[in-house]
Amino acid sequence: MGVTQASLQRLHDNVDIVDLINHYINVRKSGANFMALCPFHDDKTPSMSISQQKGLYHCHACGASGNAIKFVMEYERLEFQDALQKIANLFNITLEYEQGNFKKKSNLLPTLTLFYHNKLFKHQDIYQYLTSRGINEDSIKKFELGYSGMSYETIKFLDEHHYDYNEALECGIISQGNDRAYAKFTNRIIFPIHSGNGVVVGFGGRTLSEEKNIAKYLNSPQSKIFNKSKILYGYHLARQAIYKEKYLIVCEGYIDVIMLHQAGFKNTVATLGTALNEGHLHLLNKDNPRILMCYDGDVAGINAAFKAAKFLSQNSKDGGVILLKNGLDPADMILQNKINEFQHELENAKNFVEFVLEKIISEFDINNPIQKEQALKLCLEYLHSLSPLLQDEYRRKCAILLQVDPIYITTKRMRKQELIQPHTYKDSHDYAEENILINMLKSSEYFFFALNFLDKKHFRKYAHEFELITQGKQHDELIIALQFKSNVQNLQQVEFEEQIRIFLLKYAKETLQNTLNNTTLNGNEKIQNIIHLRNAIQKLEKGEILTI
Ligand SMILES: [Zn+2]
């Protein structure tokens, strides 16, 4: 659902770009214009000029430029629609959405966050527990930490504010017992969990009870708005630093994130009990930062790191793995004032491909030729799943690690054969269509490339979704649903083009077959169609991509 044209106009009319930018950085008047230190490059002298009249900004040094919306998108790393909402909030403008609906978002979770947060300050013991872990008051406020209190307190809060129990159930705030509702989080420290755009979508809770049969950490259950394998804890607070530092640190716990932010590593996030996976790519793809995974050095940590490093390298992501020794986690290191040591660990992260190869080889005794051969087989299997360039780069390294002649380390040129052949799967999903659509959502380059060649008629299962995407309605429920269920490949540009070529080729061949079988077409028209399709097939088979 997009914002209506009228709302967009109202936004343009009411938003002063100088006020807006001044909300984020200092702006000074200079002649007819305003100047500021450009936030998009390392600016020493104010290089950004802002024209109040034209509603535009421009940096003379790095070339960053645009209007108010663009500024917020770039500065906050937000999508278009979210930037609009953000500006509307700042300037107190109500946005209308298409289909005549006002976007009515419940404020249950934000209000409850505040309720729990305020409660924390009334419980000295909880507050002291946090400070004993090294968390200071600024961090408590920045991360909006809270205390749930007892079950009846949450229920009372819902009643007093007239919140719908069904909604509270859906958000995982309460569960329903024998005609009574109970709060999900009782006597727990609350860590609000935000989406990438900074909206509260769930909670993590750490118990303060010593009882053995109570889980130490509890997360909100999976729901329409809370999908823990797509969320990175702390991302909304880290995105600016990630953009500036061009890398991010991924660790395992809430307290790790908070302590690292406190120590100045503001580009830190955490996964919520899962390894990094394709669900996280929508966040990791923004600005393409290096990814440094900082895990415990125990078996579980090593296995999670292995899984993630394999997945990320297969998606050509840059980064490395840090396994902390002596059972320390990042929060411990900060608490023990080992900031320099931590920095040193970051600088010496083992890159993903090497980490994976070493881990594979470590499972075998390579002094034994049979075992060496088994290790070689697994290494090759992994190497061949990487891009051709990475295969070339790591051939030698792999040979050294295995102590074999590089001649044994073969490479595989193109992943073409692994690209999905359309219309051949028995499954109800049409994977080729999904593959194209999801990758179109990934980048505007892919989007426009696909738009040059594809049309609604080419899609069998997802014609409507294709239309929605081309109309910029990527927030439509159907598209979100598609992204949820889809388990598609993250394609490189060449692979994406190749996927489209195969897709069109299949379409052309099928259409040709249908035309040949069609008895209602008249002779001349039929011949024209057949010639046209045969030409197209010939060109497509030679590698050309064209519209049909
Ligand atoms: Zn600049």
Give the CA-trace dihedral at 312, 313, 319, 323, to 10 degrees.
80
Q: What distance in angstroms lies between residue 63's CA and the mean position of ligand 1's atoms?
A: 6
Q: What distance in angstroms lies between residue 36's CA and the mean position of ligand 1's atoms?
A: 10
Given a cut of 60, whether residue 507 has pLDDT beyond it is yes
515 occurs within a structural domain: yes
Of 519 and 168, the structure prediction assigns the larger pLDDT to: 168
What's the pLDDT at 484?
A: 65
Average pLDDT over residues 225-252: 92
DSSP assignment, residue 519?
A: S
Q: What distance in angstroms lies between residue 34's CA and the mean position of ligand 1's atoms?
A: 14
Given a cut of 80, whether residue 351 has pLDDT beyond it is yes
193 occurs within a structural domain: yes
Q: What burial class does residue 325 get, using C-beta atoms within 10 Å of its C-beta: 0-12 exposed, 13-18 middle, 19+ buried?
A: exposed
The verdict on 513 and 484 lying in the same domain is: yes
Q: What distance in angstroms lies between residue 198's CA and the mean position of ligand 1's atoms?
A: 25
Of 473 and 26, the structure prediction assigns the larger pLDDT to: 26
The verdict on 311 and 347 lying in the same domain is: yes
| φ and ψ at residue 281, rounded to 5 degrees | -60, -30
The verdict on 528 and 456 lying in the same domain is: yes
Task: Give the model confidence (pLDDT) of 478-487 as tens digits.
Answer: 777 777 665 6
Q: What distance in angstroms lies between residue 500's CA and the mean position of ligand 1's atoms?
A: 37
Task: Give the model confidence (pLDDT) of 67-110 as tens digits.
Answer: 898 899 888 888 788 888 889 888 888 888 776 443 345 688 98
100 occurs within a structural domain: no
Handedness of CA 212, 218, 222, 224 (dihedral sign): positive
Q: What distance in angstroms lies between residue 65's CA and the mean position of ligand 1's atoms?
A: 9
The verdict on 200 and 242 lying in the same domain is: no
Q: What distance in angstroms lies between residue 447's CA and the mean position of ligand 1's atoms?
A: 27
Q: Which domain holds residue 280?
A: 232-356
- The answer for residues whose C-beta is within 8 angstroms of residue 165's C-beta and 6 or more apart is 158, 174, 176, 181
- Residue found by looking up tokens 């953000």 in the block: 86
CA–chain centroid gap for 375, Å, is 33
What's the pLDDT at 424?
A: 45
Q: How many CB atoms lie within 10 A of CB 333?
A: 22
Q: What distance in angstroms lies between residue 20's CA and the mean position of ligand 1's atoms?
A: 17
Task: Give dist(CA 178, CA 85) in Å, integer.
Answer: 41
Q: What distance in angstroms lies between residue 41's CA and the mean position of ligand 1's atoms?
A: 5
Confidence band (pLDDT; 50, 70, 90) for 472? confident
Q: Treating both helix axes as pointing N-terminal to C-terminal, what angle do 5-14 and 80-90 enclose, rounded to 10 degrees?
A: 50
Q: What distance in angstroms lies between residue 142's CA and the mean position of ligand 1's atoms?
A: 28
The verdict on 83 and 149 lying in the same domain is: no
Of the given ranges (149-163, 179-193, 266-280, 421-435), which has the lowest mean pLDDT? 421-435
Of 489 and 396, the structure prediction assigns the larger pLDDT to: 396
What's the pLDDT at 486?
A: 58
The verdict on 408 and 515 lying in the same domain is: no
The verdict on 373 and 269 lying in the same domain is: no
Express as a percent the part of the chain with pLDDT over 90: 43
Q: How many CB atoms lie within 10 A of CB 507?
A: 23
96 occurs within a structural domain: no
| φ and ψ at residue 30, rounded to 5 degrees | -150, 105
Q: What distance in angstroms lies between residue 48's CA and the mean position of ligand 1's atoms?
A: 6
Task: Give the model confidence (pLDDT) of 312-343 as tens digits.
Answer: 999 889 999 999 988 889 999 999 999 999 99
CA–chain centroid gap for 332, Å, is 28
What's the pLDDT at 105?
A: 53
Q: What distance in angstroms lies between residue 484's CA and the mean position of ligand 1's atoms?
A: 37
Q: What distance in angstroms lies between residue 32's CA and the mean position of ligand 1's atoms?
A: 20
Beta carbons of 248 and 234 less than 8 angstroms apart = no
Q: What distance in angstroms lies between residue 493's CA and the mean position of ligand 1's atoms?
A: 28
What's the pLDDT at 121?
A: 94
Q: What distance in angstroms lies between residue 35's CA and the mean position of ligand 1's atoms?
A: 12
Burial code (b: 16+ CB inside 10 Å, e: under 16) for 239-266 equals bbbbbbeebbbbbbbbbbbbbbbbbebb
CATH assignment at residue 291:
3.40.1360.10
Given a cut of 90, whether residue 170 has pLDDT beyond it is no
Q: What distance in angstroms lies between residue 58's CA and the mean position of ligand 1's atoms?
A: 8
271 occurs within a structural domain: yes
3-state SS assignment for residue 426: coil
- Residue found by looking up tokens 């078996």 in the block: 299
The verdict on 352 and 367 lying in the same domain is: no
The verdict on 236 and 331 lying in the same domain is: yes
Given a cut of 50, whether residue 416 has pLDDT beyond it is no
Task: Give dist(CA 276, CA 499) in Å, integer.
Answer: 26
Q: What distance in angstroms lies between residue 338's CA and the mean position of ligand 1's atoms?
A: 35
CATH assignment at residue 430:
1.10.860.10
From the list 178, 242, 231, 238, the residue with the least C-alpha distance to 204 is: 231
Q: What distance in angstroms lies between residue 485's CA and the mean position of ligand 1's atoms?
A: 40
97 occurs within a structural domain: no
Task: Give the model confidence (pLDDT) of 191-215 as tens digits.
Answer: 999 988 788 999 999 998 888 888 8
Q: Name 200's bridge partners.
A: 194
Domain count, the chain: 5
Q: What distance in angstroms lies between residue 31's CA and the mean position of ligand 1's atoms?
A: 20
Burial code (b: 16+ CB inside 10 Å, e: under 16) for 145-154 equals bbbbbebeeb
The verdict on 499 and 440 lying in the same domain is: yes
Domain boundary among 348, 378, 413: 413
Domain boundary among 187, 219, 251: 219
Q: What distance in angstroms lies between residue 188's CA and the mean position of ligand 1's atoms?
A: 45
Q: What distance in angstroms lies between residue 43's CA and the mean position of ligand 1's atoms?
A: 7
Q: What distance in angstroms lies between residue 51's CA and the mean position of ligand 1's atoms?
A: 15
Domain boundary among 413, 429, 444: 413
Structure tokens that stand for 437 in this block: 């659509």
Q: What distance in angstroms lies between residue 316's CA and the mean position of ligand 1's atoms?
A: 28
The verdict on 456 and 530 lying in the same domain is: yes
Q: What distance in angstroms lies between residue 476's CA and the mean position of ligand 1's atoms?
A: 35
**Helix/strand/coil (H/E/C) assignment for every residue in 271-318:** ECCCCCCHHHHHHHCCCCCEEEEEEECCHHHHHHHHHHHHHHHHCCCC
102 occurs within a structural domain: no
The verdict on 315 and 333 lying in the same domain is: yes
Structure tokens that stand for 441 in this block: 């959502």
Q: What distance in angstroms lies between residue 64's CA and the mean position of ligand 1's atoms?
A: 6
518 occurs within a structural domain: yes
Parallel, antiparallel, or unpaired: how do β-strands 290-296 and 319-324 relate?
parallel
Average pLDDT over residues 385-406: 90
Of 430 and 388, the structure prediction assigns the larger pLDDT to: 388
Given a cut of 70, whether residue 403 has pLDDT beyond it is yes
What's the pLDDT at 440?
A: 87
Mean pLDDT score of the chain: 87
Beta carbons of 194 and 254 less than 8 angstroms apart = no
Q: What distance in angstroms lies between residue 73's CA and the mean position of ligand 1's atoms?
A: 15
